[in-house]
Structure formats: C-alpha cells, structure tokens
Amino acid sequence: MPLVVFSAAACCCCCLCCGLLLLLLPCRRFAGRPRWIPRLMARTERPFFRIAYNLYTRTRLGYVYYKRQVKKARERFPEGHSSAQPMVFSGVKIVPVPVLSDNYSYLVIDTTSCMAVAVDPSDPRAVQASLEEEGVTLEAILCTHKHWDHCGGNKALKRLHKSCRVYGSSCDGIPELTDPVSDKENITVGQLQFQALFTPGHTVGHTIYVLDGKSGDGPACLFSGDLLFLSGCGRMFEGTAETMLASLDGVVTLGDDTLLWPGHEYAEDNLNFAAVLEPENSSRERKSQWVFQQRLEKKCTCPSTLGEEKEYNPFLRTHCQDLHQALGLQQGTEEDWNHFRARVLEEVRRRKDLFKGR
Ligand SMILES: [Zn+2]
C-alpha cells in the first residue's frame, strides 16, 4: 500500500478520512493530494466519506493512520506546532500542550496538591513531557470523544500512570475508559471541580468538560473538544443539525466570561470563513487582526471567551438576521424557529466544508 501518500493529509477529521481514502487507493499516480478528494470528502453524507469514516473510527486502519500522523508531527514540529503560554489562577494552572499538527491537549493542575488532569491527550509523549516539566501527578484523563487525535494517548499514559482514571462517554468507545460519565456529572480531582456535559453531533458520545471557576477563584473554563472552536464548530459526523444546534445552545448558557479551550488551532481559517459571511462584523475584524498577528509568530490563539464567540462565531449566530441574509435563508411562515435555526446551521456548515476547496 502506498503509505507515502499519508504525507498529503493534515489531521482534522475530514483530512484523516481523506488520508484513509488515499491509503486505499492502489495508485502511485496520487503521490500529491488530488484536488478532487477534498471536494469528494467535504460532504459527510457521501458514500466515500462514510466508508472512510467508518474505517477510521471502527477498524485498526484508523489507529495505524493516527500513529503515522503522530510520528510525522513529531518530526515536523519537534517543539509543537504552536507556542502556548500556561495560564494561572489562584490554585489552578492550565497548560495547553500543542500536539499533532493542530490539536491541543491540556493539563489542568491543582497547584496545591500537584494533581493533574489531562484533557484529550492524543500524543502521550508530549503530555508526559509536560507532566514531568510541571512536576505533577496524572490523576485523570478527560476525553471528549473517540477520534484518535483526541484519545490516542490514553493507553500509553494509563500504562505509565496505573491509578489514573479515564472519563468519557460510554457511547463513544473511548480506549481505556474506567469511568463512563453521565450528562451533568461532577468530577472532582483534588480542588478541581469539573462538570461533564453531553454534546452529541460531532460524535454520538461527544462530551465537553467545564472547570468550575470556583475551583480557583478564576473564570470557568470550557474544554470543548471538537464541539466548538474559536469562530468555528466541529463537523456533524454522527448527528443532525438539530442535534448539533441543541449542543451549541447548551454551551451558550454558560457564562460569557467562560474561557474557551478548544481541541484544535483552527482560528485563522475559521475567522477567514466568518469574514465571508459577515464582512462588516467589527468584533470579528478585531479578533481576525489579533489572531493573524498571533499566528505570524506561531502563537496559540486560546483561550477566547464565550462572550467573544457569540459576537463573531457564525455557528453561534444562527439567530442573527445579518447571517440569514448573507445565506439567503428565510424562516418559512409555518416553520418552527429552532427548525429554521438548524437549517441555518446546516447551511453554514455546508459552506464551511467547501470553503477553500475543503
Ligand atoms: Zn473529532
């Protein structure tokens, strides 16, 4: 099999599936990334996409592909794809760990007890290095969902830290899961208090984790996995637009001061897309300029706040008339408001999937 073609793929789930499709093609002539593949894969309902997605999530091929991506990313970004600064509140330290080509894992540290929680530790070597650098003990892994670029490091870390608990949804087939969580379940590690919230849509068992601001007298922190990014949201691989909308509606009930720590560094591309939909949005323009500067220096763009996201993230603005006009959509006379907003969300998602040929 032409493993060389893996080099064509980046690490978002769409590209993972592109890579798998490429892996299956018995061809040397596709040594570069054929331009038709991203378009073919851009719509999740298409048969080739479903085949590749099932191979990625349900067979060993997905794991083999993930291992290859980890190796390549370590070679390409020995210091990580971005430089990220830890954030410290009283008693809590958040350490973003850049992994793969654009993922973030996070360490959440109770600085009093030196207990640490790892969120989505996809590259175990990078996460272990951070644990050692911080001099902390891994007590728990919080997994947002089953995709390898989020849970791929569970097994290796569990081998190193035998008493470590692994939290996540039982619907998602998360490796090494020890503590299946229920919706709104509280998780306590040292002084750290998290709440797990079910947010299906990207996967059936997608779960986000909210660190209670009271844990350390700081703002609440949302670890959103692939539900919500800076100016973006995850693709609807395993749910309808209605399901995803309900998950996003749940997120916006969290306070505006809540810090958003997403699973990927997609800010620049997402804001470029938002600019097409809302060119006159001044909040988006301000954020775009800041993000552009950050990315020129390969700096991490997290965290933003939920208050900011509501102002420019098109996936959280399905209620906005300006967006409806930009999309050319109108609520039907008999149409339920949430049904209409789900149509808006679906259209924004469709356009984003095709943005720049993806
Ligand atoms: Zn994912």
Ordered by where they begin, the domains of the chain are 3-76 (no CATH), 87-265 (3.60.15.10), 268-357 (no CATH)
Q: Which residues contact 219 (CB under 8 A, 6 or more apart)?
A: 89, 213, 255, 257, 258, 259, 305
| Measured CA distances, 228 to 152, 242, 305 (Å) | 20, 16, 12
Percentage of residues in the chain having pLDDT higher than 90? 78
Q: Which residue has the tokens 């350490």?
A: 95
Q: From the CA of 310, how far away is ligand 1's center (Å)? A: 22
User: CA 284, 286, 291: angle at the middle one, nearest 5?
Assistant: 90
Q: From the CA of 100, how far away is ligand 1's center (Å)? A: 13
Q: From the CA of 13, how far away is ligand 1's center (Å)? A: 6
Q: Which helix (H) or strand (E) holds 203?
A: none
Q: Which residues contact 58 (CB under 8 A, 6 or more apart)?
A: none
The pLDDT value recorded for residue 356 is 76
Could you list the beta-strand ranges (E) of the chain: 87-89, 92-99, 103-110, 115-119, 137-142, 165-168, 179-180, 186-189, 192-198, 207-211, 221-225, 228-229, 232-233, 259-262, 304-305
Q: Who wins on pLDDT, 27 or 233?
A: 233
Q: From the CA of 71, how far away is ligand 1's center (Å)? A: 19
Q: Which helix (H) or strand (E) holds 356?
A: none
Computed over every residue of the chain, the mean pLDDT equals 88
Does position 45 have pLDDT exceeding 70, yes or no?
no
In this structure, the number of other CB atoms found within 10 A of the CB of residue 328 comes to 7
Q: Which two tokens stand for residue 152?
A: 């791929």
The pLDDT value recorded for residue 6 is 30
Q: From the CA of 235, how far away is ligand 1's center (Å)? A: 8
Does position 32 have pLDDT exceeding 50, yes or no?
no
Least confident span in 61-75, 117-131, 241-255, 292-306: 61-75
Cis peptide before 2 (omega within 30 of 0): no
Q: From the CA of 14, how far away is ligand 1's center (Å)? A: 9
Catalytic positions, written as ranges: 145, 147, 149-150, 202, 226, 264
| Measured CA distances, 178 to 37, 81, 118, 154, 265 (Å) | 38, 31, 15, 11, 29
Among 103, 89, 135, CA closest to 116: 135
46: confidence class by pLDDT, cuts 50, 70, 90: low
The pLDDT value recorded for residue 194 is 97
d(CA 149, CA 70): 9
| Type of residue at 279 | P
Q: Which residue has the tokens 């049904």?
A: 339
Q: How many CA atoms lie within 13 A of 307 on its CB side?
A: 7
Beta bridge partners of 330: none
Q: From the CA of 147, how far away is ligand 1's center (Å)? A: 5
Among 251, 244, 250, 260, CA closest to 308: 260
Q: From the CA of 143, how far away is ligand 1's center (Å)? A: 11
Q: From the CA of 234, how far away is ligand 1's center (Å)? A: 7
d(CA 17, CA 10): 10
90: confidence class by pLDDT, cuts 50, 70, 90: confident
Least confident span in 52-61, 117-126, 185-194, 197-206: 52-61
Q: From the CA of 201, how far away is ligand 1's center (Å)? A: 10
